[in-house]
A and B are shown apart, each in its own frame.
Chain A
Amino acid sequence: MDKYNLNNSYKAVVIGGSAGSFQGIVKILSQLPKNFHLPIIMCLHRLKHVRNGFVEALSIKSVVQVVEPNDKETIKKGGVYLAPSNYHMSVELGNHFAMSTEEMINNSRPAIDVTLGTAAYVYRDKLIGILLSGANRDGGLGMKHIKDKGGLTIVQEPSECMIDTMPKAALSLTQIDYTLKVDEIVEFLIELDKHYK
């Protein structure tokens, strides 16, 4: 029985996370079904002036190699993308990324609101947004944009979060569809992928 009432209309998954989200992300990436059909676009808060290491650390256990895309790089099915250090990462119409060095937002660059908000604009109701553990409110507004455009929203169960400020911000700003533990998020993605096979 299909627990989440899913279908194959979705075009992308965006994931935001900050303090305390690393383990969760690693778990998700390591348990993804092989040849997961959709692009996974991640914006995670990270040390601003450490350009190297993070993507490698995420890739160690990931089923798919994680990529920090270049400006205007095409978004591919099944690609796993990470917003690079010290850039905001937007999704542009025409199915590619755009980088920016604009002012920090929510004291962050990359800011999760930028990636989630632009993805919501481009993918509209064909987007799934996931927000994990984090210590500031970045991402809350982005989740609201996803919901407002008809996309599907998931936050990590606050009680499971190392720091629950981020998912709680999203919960306070909009009607989140599912509040799930990381294991359930994995289960959700596996179930979602079945609709594309």
Chain B
Amino acid sequence: MIQDIDIADLKKITELVQTRYGYDFRNYAMSSFKRRMLRILELKSLTVETLLKKLSEQPNFIDEFLDELTVNVTEMFRDPGFWRIIRDEIIPGILLNHKQFKIWHAGCSSGEEVLSMTIVLKEMGILQDVQLYATDLDTTILEKAKQASYPIKNMELNEKNYIRYEGKGSLKDYYKEENGKAVFDKSLLQNVTFRKHDLVKGEVFNKFDLILCRNVMIYFNQSLQNEVLKKFHESMFKYGYLAIGSKESLIWCEVASKFLVVNNEEKVYKKIKD
């Protein structure tokens, strides 16, 4: 196993990926980016040289590369307290003004979070009134998200989270067990649009009442976080909500003054200025 990788080598890789494929990883947080690279080298039994060669000679390899590079570890109802706030405060807050509204899950990974949201909305009886967008850079993971089918072994944790969320029934009401997988009811995803979107380079594509981007920007450095938060601000209606991860903060970013803290523990913010 390769123990370490030089910054110079990391630069070679990011430059190649940028010039050849247009993805910009230069402003990713160094510590995790380095770990992801070491992980790819180990998983694929590559050296920096053979990785560079593969990236320049095999265009198909880029999807696999992106899939391993991005962190796709997620849970349903991660931080149950957050989901209770969403159900009891945030969504009722939005409903005061609009019966129909739009949610964006930015960096949706394998879809557990958007699926959790559809369950929340269904239990509130408003699933049909909400348009959800779930985006990710990684097309392989988007395909998985569309399947809404997860290994049974993950369900113990998901169930525990759901119980702590204090949902109306049991998570089992929403899936069937098939070949070691928990296959969720596809109708949950009827109003979900999955699409590829790069937070670094992507344009503002819509306006939302609620944006969730939890534990995604932790992989970016502060200057990139700042840029992405500007785009989120632009992509929100005034008085819309933004949710980030429990260990993230808006404090450092330029748009901080345009948001109000709604819940500091669960990191939910409200846009108060255009």
- Hey, which bits of chain A sit against chain B, CB under 8 A? 49, 51, 68-73, 84, 86-87, 90-93, 98-103, 114, 118, 121
Q: Given the interface contacts A49-B161, A71-B218, A72-B225, does A100 sit within 8 Å of B248 by beta carbon?
A: no
Indicate if the CB atoms of B248 and A70 lie closer than 8 Å.
Answer: yes
- Hey, which bits of chain B sit against chain A, CB under 8 A? 4, 29-32, 35-36, 71, 73-74, 78-79, 81, 157, 160-161, 164, 215, 217-219, 221-222, 225, 245-249, 251-252
The docked-state distance in angstroms from the alpha carbon of A10 to that of B71 is 33
Enumerate chain A residues within 8 angstroms of B30, measured Cβ to Cβ. Answer: 92-93, 98
Indicate if the CB atoms of A103 and B73 lie closer than 8 Å.
Answer: yes
Enumerate chain B residues within 8 angstroms of A68, measured Cβ to Cβ. Answer: 247
Enumerate chain B residues within 8 angstroms of A121, measured Cβ to Cβ. Answer: 4, 31
Partner of B73, one of A51, A101, A114: A101
Indicate if the CB atoms of A100 and B71 lie closer than 8 Å.
Answer: yes
Enumerate chain A residues within 8 angstroms of B248, measured Cβ to Cβ. Answer: 70-71, 99
Distance of B2 from chain A, by nearest CB (Å): 14
Enumerate chain A residues within 8 angstroms of B252, measured Cβ to Cβ. Answer: 72
Question: By DSSP majority rule, is chain A's interface helix, strand, loop, or mixed?
Answer: loop
The docked-state distance in angstroms from the alpha carbon of A92 to that of B225 is 15
Indicate if the CB atoms of B31 and A71 lie closer than 8 Å.
Answer: no
List 25 A-B pairs, Cβ < 8 Å: A49-B164, A51-B246, A68-B247, A69-B247, A70-B247, A70-B249, A71-B217, A71-B218, A71-B247, A71-B249, A72-B29, A87-B247, A91-B31, A98-B29, A98-B30, A99-B218, A100-B31, A100-B32, A100-B219, A101-B71, A101-B215, A101-B218, A102-B32, A102-B73, A118-B31
The docked-state distance in angstroms from the alpha carbon of A98 to that of B71 is 14
Indicate if the CB atoms of B79 and A51 lie closer than 8 Å.
Answer: yes
The docked-state distance in angstroms from the alpha carbon of A177 to that of B79 is 41
Task: Name A104's closest neighbour in chain B (CB-CB).
Answer: B73
Q: Given the interface contacts A72-B225, A92-B31, does A102 sit within 8 Å of B71 by beta carbon?
A: yes
